[in-house]
Amino acid sequence: MKRRNFVQAALVTATSTSLWAQGANAWPDKPIKWVLSQPPGSGPDNVARLLSERIAKGLGQAIVIDNKPGGQNVIGAQFAAHAPADGYTFYFATTAALVTNKYLFKVLPYEPQRDFIPVAFIARSPFGVLVRADSPITSIQDLIARSKAAPGKLTLGNEGPRTFGGIIARLINARAKMEANLVSYSSVGVSITDLMGGHTDAIVADLASTAQFARQGRLRLLAVTTGKRVAGWEQVPALAETLPNFEMSGWFALVAPVGTPANAVARLNQELNTLLADPDMAQKILAIGPIAEPLGSPAQVDSYLKREHERWSEVTKEIGLLPE
C-alpha cells in the first residue's frame, strides 16, 4: 500500500513538473510590450519597429511598441523599471537611460544597475560633427583651427549641455583645446533646421537623425565620434584620427525588469542575436543610422554596461559636469 502511494505521488509530481516545464517553455503566450523613451519616428523607434516586426514572427506573438518620451529618458525608464517582471514588458533603452543619467541626476526614480537585467545589445549609434554642404569648413581639422583662431566665435549646436550631443561637444572643446560657442537646442531637429538656415556653423548630432541629410548632400559630415571609421561612412574620418583615443557613441540595448524569467530573456537574446547577424537586417538598420552590433549573451552585455559606467564616470569628471 505504501509502495502504491509512493508511485502515485511520484506520478503526480512528475506530471506537475512536466506541465510547469511546458508552461515555462511556452513563452510567449500573449503579446509582448517594448517600452521606448523616444517618440514615434525617432531613430530608436524606427530601429525598434524594424526589429520587433521580424522578432514577432519568430515568437508567434505581437510586439507592441509603447512610446513614453520625455524627461531625458527618465519617464520611459521609470515606467519600464516598475513594470511587472513577468516576461511581457521589456525596455528598448539608450545609453542615457542605462548609463549617463546616473551621472547627470542627483536623484533618479529608478536605478539603472539595480532595476534592469540585460537581454541583448542591439546597435551602436555614432554621432557626427556636421556642417552645411556649402560651408567653407571642409574638415574637422579646419573646424578646430577656425575655432582656435577666433575663440568663442564659431558656433557648435547640440541638444543641450546635459544631453549626449552636448556632452560630446564639450568633450571636443576640451580635447581639442578650443573654445567653440556651444549653442543648445530643444531637439536634434531644431538644431538641424538652424544649421541649414545658417544660424550655426556646425552641430554635433546622432547619425540616425542626420544621415538622410548627409546622403542627400544637404549636410557635410566632417567626422564621426566613434574610435574608428564606421560602416557605410568609410570616407568620413573618425575624430580619434585627430583627437587620439576619442570614442563616444550612443547605443541601444534591450533590457528587462529585474526578476524577469530566464527563459524569456534567453529566447529574446537568441532571436535578436540571430536577426542582428543577418546582413540584410544589418543593412536596413544602417540605412536608419545605427550599426547593428550583437554582443553575445546577457552576461557579456552586462560586462559591457559595467565598463560604460566606468567610462562615463571619468568623462563627466573630465568636462566638469556635475549631477543636478
* Per-residue confidence (pLDDT) for residue 22, from 0 to 100: 40
- Distance (Å, rounded) from C-alpha 267 to C-alpha 262? 9
Question: From residue 74, how far is each of 98, 189, 193 by CA, in Å?
Answer: 10, 20, 26
Whether residue 109 contacts residue 74, with contact meaning beta carbons closer than 8 Å, is answered with yes
Looking at the chain, the domain(s) classified CATH 3.40.190.10 span 126-241
Ramachandran region of residue 160, left (φ > 0), alpha (ψ -120 to 50) or beta?
A: left
CATH superfamily of 30-125+249-318: Bordetella uptake gene, domain 1 (3.40.190.150)
C-alpha cell belonging to residue 260: 524577469
Tell me, what's the pLDDT at 227? 87
**What is the location of CATH 3.40.190.150 in the chain?**
30-125+249-318
- In this predicted structure, what is the pLDDT of residue 2? 41
pTM beyond 0.75, yes or no:
yes
CA-based R_g, the chain, Å: 23
CA angle 247, 248, 254 (to 5 degrees): 125
User: Residue 41's closest CA among 212, 266, 221, 272?
Assistant: 212
**Alpha helices (runs of H) in the chain, residue ranges in sequence order:** 2-25, 43-59, 74-81, 95, 101-104, 112-115, 140-149, 164-176, 188-196, 207-215, 262-276, 279-288, 298-318
Q: What kind of fold does domain 126-241 have according to CATH?
A: D-Maltodextrin-Binding Protein; domain 2 (3.40.190)
Q: Return the pLDDT at 24.
A: 46
Check residue 6 and give its pLDDT: 37
- Unique residue bearing C-alpha cell 548630432: 205
What is the Cα–Cα distance from 45 to 49, expressed in whole angstroms?
A: 6
Walk along the chain (324 residues) in steps of 10 and give the mean pLDDT of each run. 41 37 69 95 90 94 95 94 97 94 93 96 94 96 96 94 90 95 91 95 91 92 92 92 92 96 96 96 88 92 95 91 86
